[in-house]
Amino acid sequence: MKPFVFFNAENVRIQLDDRSYDIQIGQNLLQGLSGDGAVPAGTAALVVTNETVQPLYGSRLVVALKQRYPVVHTVTLPDGEEHKNWQTLNLIFDALLQHGCDRKTVLFALGGGVVGDMAGFAAASYMRGVPFVQVPTTLLAQVDSSVGGKTAINHPLGKNMIGAFYQPQLVVCDLATLDTLPVRELSAGLAEIIKYGPIADMDFMGWLEEHMDSLLARDRTALAHAVRRSCEIKAWVVGQDEREAGLRAILNFGHTFGHAIEAGMGYGAWLHGEGVGAGMVMAAELSHRLGLVDDAFVARLKVLVQRAGLPLRGAVLDAADNAGRYLELMRVDKKAEAGEIRFVLIDGPGRACVRAAPDALVREVIDACCA
Amino acid sequence: MKPFVFFNAENVRIQLDDRSYDIQIGQNLLQGLSGDGAVPAGTAALVVTNETVQPLYGSRLVVALKQRYPVVHTVTLPDGEEHKNWQTLNLIFDALLQHGCDRKTVLFALGGGVVGDMAGFAAASYMRGVPFVQVPTTLLAQVDSSVGGKTAINHPLGKNMIGAFYQPQLVVCDLATLDTLPVRELSAGLAEIIKYGPIADMDFMGWLEEHMDSLLARDRTALAHAVRRSCEIKAWVVGQDEREAGLRAILNFGHTFGHAIEAGMGYGAWLHGEGVGAGMVMAAELSHRLGLVDDAFVARLKVLVQRAGLPLRGAVLDAADNAGRYLELMRVDKKAEAGEIRFVLIDGPGRACVRAAPDALVREVIDACCA
C-alpha cells in the first residue's frame, strides 16, 4: 500500500486563490476556537444550529465565541432534510435582521449537512455575502458537505436546486462531536468516505476494508485518518474545479441514483448517505454492464457498503413503473444536459468518468438493484 | 466643458476579469438579438418579464430568441417593487424546474429593475448559477440596476437584503423600449442619471442641465448620451470595486435616505428613483451642514431634481417621531456597521465620500427636508 500524502500535519488546505481556507481536524477543537487566529474577525457572530445539536454543543461553541465577538446570537432550526427549504432558510434571515446584524457578522454552521448547506446559502445571500465558518458535527458533513463551498436548499421538484458556490473561511472538524452521532448517521457518513476509494484511491479503499470495524467503534485515530484522507481527496478535486465545470462531478459518484431515491421517497425518509450507499452499488453495476469494471469490483464494493451498515438495494419508488420513475427524477439532476442524464461511473478501479448510458441499460440496472 | 470619453463607439465594456461583459446601447436592438454573437449559447432560454412589459415587448424578444435557442420559455411576474420577494422569485424556479431546464439554460431579464434583480438572483441561485442577459426596458434599469451585478430580493425588514453579486453575460439597452415608459418612471430613471453628476462628473451635470428638456421629450440622441455616460461612470466604479468593499458605495448617493422612504412607506408606494431624488437632496443638505459643500451646490441640485419631475422633499414616515423612524430604518442599511449609519456624502462637487454623521445633525436634516 502506498503511503498517504498529507498536505499538513494539522490542517488540510483548500487552495482556491483568494478563497482558500483550512480544514482543521482534531479532538476538542470547539473549546479552543476563540483563541484561534484563523477564526475571522467580525462585529458579531450568529450560530446556526438545529434542535438536536443545540443542547449537545451549542453552549460550548457560544462560550468560546463570546471571547472573540462582542455579541453572539443563536438560531435553532428544526432538524432534518425535509426542512431544508426556503421557510427554514428564512428563519436565519429573520434572526439576522431582527438582531440588526451587519455585513461583518460571521455565521457559524454547527451541525450536519443540512445546517451547513442552509447556513452557507444564508451567508452567501445575506447582504450579498457575509463570512462563515463550518463546524460540522456529523461524519458526513466532516468529509463532504462542509468542504468545497456547495450550499443549497431543496425545491419540491429537486434536491439542492437553489443555492450558491460560496466558500467558508474555515472548517473545524471536532472528532469529539462524533461521540453522540446516532449509528444510522455514522453509517451515512461512511458512505461518503467509501466513495473516495472507487473514484480516486484504491489504497484508501483497502485501508477502509482493514479498518471498518475500528471506524464503526468510533476509534478516534481511525476516524481522524478517514476524515483527513477524504478531505485531502476532496481538496485536490475542488482545487482543480471549484464550480463543477468538469472533474468535480466525480464527487457525485452514487448521487444520481441516490438523489432519485431521496426525492422519490420524500426528503428525510432516507438519509443522504443511505441513498449514496445504494446509489454507489447501482452506479457500479451500471459501470460493469457498460464493460468498465469487472464483477469482482462490484462485489468488493457491495461488501464494504454492507459492512458500513448501509442499504445495498435501492427503494421501490413506483410499483407500476419503478425504472420510469427513477429516470424521471434523474433527468432533473443538475448534471443532466438537455434531458440526457450524466452518470458518474467507475472507469476502472480508482478512476471515475462522467457519461450518458442507454435508457434500456439503466432500466435493467434499476430492475436488478431495487428491493 | 471637457469632452466625454467613450470606451467604445458602440458598447460600454465592464472590465471584471473573466466576468467582463458589454453593455449595448442603441435603437431597435431586441429584433437583432438572435444574430448577435455576444448572446450566450445554451440549451434553452427563459424570458423573465412582468405583466406590463410582456404584452409590449415579450413576443418581439421571444421571436428573436427562437432563432438562436431550441426552446424559449416565458415566465410573467406580477409588476411592482412590492412583489420583489421570495414568493415571486419562486415562480421563476418553478418555471425552470417544470420545464426541466438544465445548467445551460440562459435567463433573459426583460423589464425594469425589479425584473432584473429577481431574474439575476434566480440565475445566480438556480443549480448554483446559470448564464443570464439583462434586457432593461426602463431608464432606471438601463443606467443603474442592470449594470454591475447586484441582484436581490427584499425582506419585510429591509430592501435588497437577500441576494448575490452575479454578473450578466450581456446587457442590451434598447432605447426604443423607452417610448412606452410612463412619465413617472422616466423621472425615476433620471434620478439615477442625475446622481452621476455630483458623485463623479460635474461636466455631465452641466450637460444634464442643458438637455433636461430633451430628455423629458425622449429625444433618442439625448437619451443615448445620458445612458452611455451613466454606464461609463458606473463601469469605471464597478471595475474597481465589484463587491462594494469601498469605492462602489458612492453609487448609493441618495439611497440611504431613499431606502428608508421606500421601506417606511411600504414597497411600491414610492418608486425607487423617487426615493433617490428626495434622498439626494437630503444627502446634499447633510453634506452642506457638515461643511463639505456650499448652499449654492445644494440649490443647483434641487433645481435639477425638480426639473426632472422628482419629489424634492422626503415623506413623513411617522407623525410622532419622523426623524427617529428614519434613523431606525437607516440603521439596517447594508452599509451600516455595528449600528452606525454610513452616509454617501458630496465631498465637494463631483466627488463623493462615505462617512458617519452625528444623529442630532441627521435629525435636523430630516426635519428640514420632509414634507
Instruction: Encode pLDDT of B151-161 as tens digits.
Output: 999 998 888 99
Q: Which residues contact B33 (CB under 8 A, 6 or more apart)?
A: B39, B61, B64, B65, B68, B135, B172
Grid cell at residue A98: 431582527
For chain A, say whether B155 makes contact (Cβ under 8 Å).
yes
**Averaged pLDDT, B222-230:** 96
Q: Which residue has the cell 480544514?
A: A23
- On whether the CB atoms of residues A108 and A157 are closer than 8 A, the answer is no
What does the alpha-carbon distance between residue A167 and residue A30 come to, in Å, rounded to a whole number?
20
pLDDT at res. B147: 86
What does the alpha-carbon distance between residue A361 and residue A27 come to, in Å, rounded to a whole number?
47
What does the alpha-carbon distance between residue A323 and residue A116 come to, in Å, rounded to a whole number?
32
Are A221 and A155 within one domain? no
The DSSP bridge partners found for residue B340 are: B337
pLDDT surpassing 70 at residue B4: no
For chain B, say whether A19 makes contact (Cβ under 8 Å).
no
pLDDT surpassing 70 at residue A66: yes
| Count of the separate structural domains present in chain A | 2
Are B164 and B202 within one domain? no
Amino acid, single-letter form, for residue A197: G
What does the alpha-carbon distance between residue B190 and residue B212 come to, in Å, rounded to a whole number?
9
Q: Do B164 and A124 touch (CB under 8 A)?
A: yes
Are A206 and A122 within one domain? no
| Tens digit of each residue's pLDDT (9 = 90 or more) over B238-281 | 988 888 888 899 999 999 999 999 989 988 899 999 999 999 99
What does the alpha-carbon distance between residue A15 and residue A194 come to, in Å, rounded to a whole number?
24
* B6 domain-assigned: no
Are B137 and B256 within one domain? no
Q: Would residue B173 be called left, alpha or beta, if left means φ above 0 and alpha means ψ between -120 and 50 degrees?
A: beta
Number of inter-chain CB pairs under 8 A, A vs B: 95
For chain B, say whether A337 makes contact (Cβ under 8 Å).
yes
Are B205 and B308 within one domain? yes
Q: Do A165 and B128 touch (CB under 8 A)?
A: yes
The interface predicted TM-score of the complex, written ipTM, equals 0.90
pLDDT at res. B8: 39
Are B150 and B205 within one domain? no
| Tens digit of each residue's pLDDT (9 = 90 or more) over B86-95 | 999 999 999 9
B234 is catalytic: yes
Residue of B51, B209, B244, B364 marked catalytic:
B244
Grid cell at residue A31: 473549546
Domain boundaries, position B92: 11-180
pLDDT at res. B226: 97
For chain A, say whether B258 makes contact (Cβ under 8 Å).
no
Best residue in A43, A128, A241 for a mutation probing chain B (most B CBs within 10 Å):
A128
For chain A, say whether B91 makes contact (Cβ under 8 Å).
no
Are A30 and A74 within one domain? yes
Best residue in B88, B92, B104, B125 for a mutation probing chain A (most A CBs within 10 Å):
B125
Considering only CB atoms, which chain B residues are within 8 Å of A152?
Answer: 128
Nearest beta carbon to residue B102 from set A70, A128, A337: A337
* A6 domain-assigned: no
Considering only CB atoms, which chain B residues are within 8 Å of A158?
Answer: 97
Distance, in angstroms, between A43 CA and closest chain B CA? 6
What does the alpha-carbon distance between residue A48 and residue A111 come to, in Å, rounded to a whole number?
8
Q: Would residue B254 be called left, alpha or beta, if left means φ above 0 and alpha means ψ between -120 and 50 degrees?
A: left
Which CATH number fits the domain that encloses residue B284?
1.20.1090.10
pLDDT at res. B157: 84
Considering only CB atoms, which chain B residues are within 8 Å of A97?
Answer: 155, 157-158, 161, 332
What does the alpha-carbon distance between residue B248 and residue B317 come to, in Å, rounded to a whole number?
28
Closest C-alpha to A66, from A84, A38, A87, A42: A42
Grid cell at residue A310: 448501509
Angle at B370 between CA B366 and CA B371, to 5 degrees: 165
* A233 domain-assigned: yes
Q: Do B43 and A337 touch (CB under 8 A)?
A: yes
Are A218 and A273 within one domain? yes
| A10 — pLDDT class (breaks 50, 70, 90) | low
Considering only CB atoms, which chain A residues are within 8 Å of B98?
Answer: 157
Which CATH number fits the domain that encloses residue B123?
3.40.50.1970
Are A21 and A88 within one domain? yes
Are B156 and B193 within one domain? no
| Tens digit of each residue's pLDDT (9 = 90 or more) over A16-27 | 888 889 999 999
Are A26 and A156 within one domain? yes
Are A202 and A142 within one domain? no
Amino acid, single-letter form, for residue B290: L
List the single residue in A with minimal CA-CA distance to B329. Answer: A100
* B1 domain-assigned: no
pLDDT at res. A371: 83
